[in-house]
Homo-oligomer: A and B are copies of this chain.
Amino acid sequence: MHPPDLNTIRAAAQRIAPFAHRTPVLTSRYFNDRTGADIFFKCENFQRVGAFKFRGATNAVQALSEQEANRGVVTHSSGNHAQALAAAARERGISATIVMPRGAPAVKRNAVAGYGAEIVECEPTQAAREAAADEIVARAGANFIHPYEDPRVVAGAATASLELVEEVPDLAIVVTPVGGGGLASGTCLTVSALLPQAKIIGTEPTLADDARRSLAAGQIQTDGIGPTIADGLRTSLGPLTFSILSRHLTEILAVDESEIVQAMKLVWERMKIVIEPSSAVPVAVLLKYPDRFQGHRVGLILSGGNVDLDALPWLSR
């Protein structure tokens, strides 16, 4: 698989424009004062289905030929990609099948079902997920849309940072969370092409700092991914995202669980927006390492806002 180039990313932006929101860029006097930086928050929590994932899923679905599209799409995910693919498929009027582990939260199942997708249950292991998805591909000829190991998905994710850079063209640093690496890869590709002088900093929970260790070791590490509250970041890199991040990321910084929860609550209190724990990870990094950012214009991608309001982390801990 080859990483998408800037033309491909621009084509993705055009392809998804009728469906995805152009999300706002917010600023915060409070966070600027705390860090000494000028921070520009790209609010993908306001994206459709509440996360940047809608961009990649929509780009992949809309890029299918008529013939391909008629066979439907399939993926395995219990997170935002599942909802995003279900919504993107409904937008095109094609069928979507989502493989979810048995025991996935009812709120997530309901959200996917609410978009009209079919849910197939499997055992909660990576092998069982992949086998179930493979079977659907073999049986129905459905198009498998991986959450991040897919250039169409990466190109779609890259449109978030493309919009950010178009709106704030003089960023010195761009900060992004790293899970499977789709958003981070997309950010790398746009920022390195349009702002070659800018630093690109990845952020992870210490409990799941597999990408940091992967870059240090020079090969993908899949072990040592703990139950971080930033559940969107519990995924390991794939060959495509690993190669992009290896080439372009300046560094990866990690933060502890309590720092993530505090940053999340501060964003809710001070910016009056709802973000999910994964989005709080880069914010926590800015608060923990202000020296890295002081005096600079910093772009930060808030990846999503899907939270169970009945189980807020600062209340349940």
**Min C-beta distance of A45 to chain B, whole Å:** 5
Residues of B within 8 A of A2 (CB): none
Measured CB to CB, the nearest residue on chain B to A47 is: B272
Report A264-279 CB contacts with B as 1/0, cut-off 8 Å. 0100110111110000
A305-B272 CB under 8 A given contacts A24-B24, A314-B310:
yes
**CB within 8 A of A309: which of B26, B48, B50, B312?**
B312
Report A119-149 CB contacts with B as 1/0, cut-off 8 Å. 0000000000000000000000000000000
Q: A40 at the A/B interface (Cβ < 8 Å)?
A: no
Residues of B within 8 A of A271 (CB): 46
A268-B274 CB under 8 A given contacts A312-B309, A314-B310:
yes
Residues of B within 8 A of A48 (CB): 29
**CB within 8 A of A315: which of B29, B265, B315?**
B315
**CB within 8 A of A268: which of B29, B309, B314?**
B309
Q: Which of A249-296 contact B (CB under 8 A)?
A: 265, 268-269, 271-275
Measured CB to CB, the nearest residue on chain B to A44 is: B272
Residues of B within 8 A of A309 (CB): 265, 268-269, 312, 314
How many chain A residues sit at the interface, stated as a range, is 20 to 34
**CB within 8 A of A274: which of B24, B29, B274, B310?**
B274
Residues of B within 8 A of A45 (CB): 272
Report A20-59 CB contacts with B as 1/0, cut-off 8 Å. 0000101001000000000000000110101000000000
Alpha-carbon separation in the docked complex, A63 to B50 (Å): 42
Alpha-carbon separation in the docked complex, A315 to B26 (Å): 29
Q: Is B269 within 8 A of A272, CB to CB? A: no
Residues of B within 8 A of A46 (CB): 26, 271-272
Q: Is B272 within 8 A of A50, CB to CB? A: yes
Residues of B within 8 A of A50 (CB): 272
Alpha-carbon separation in the docked complex, A221 to B76 (Å): 60
**Min C-beta distance of A65 to chain B, whole Å:** 28
Residues of B within 8 A of A272 (CB): 45-46, 50, 273-275, 305
Residues of B within 8 A of A265 (CB): 309
**Min C-beta distance of A106 to chain B, whole Å:** 15
Report A218-257 CB contacts with B as 1/0, cut-off 8 Å. 0000000000000000000000000000000000000000
Contact sample, A vs B, 25 pairs, CB 8 Å cutoff: A24-B24, A26-B46, A29-B48, A46-B271, A46-B272, A50-B272, A265-B309, A268-B274, A268-B309, A269-B274, A269-B309, A272-B273, A272-B274, A272-B275, A272-B305, A273-B273, A273-B274, A274-B274, A309-B312, A309-B314, A310-B314, A310-B315, A312-B312, A312-B315, A315-B315
- 7 tightest A-B CB contacts, nearest first: A272-B305, A272-B274, A45-B272, A268-B274, A273-B273, A46-B272, A265-B309
Q: A272-B273, A273-B274 are in contact. List 14 more A-B contacts (CB 8 A).
A: A26-B46, A29-B48, A265-B309, A268-B274, A269-B274, A269-B309, A272-B275, A272-B305, A274-B274, A309-B312, A309-B314, A310-B315, A312-B315, A315-B315
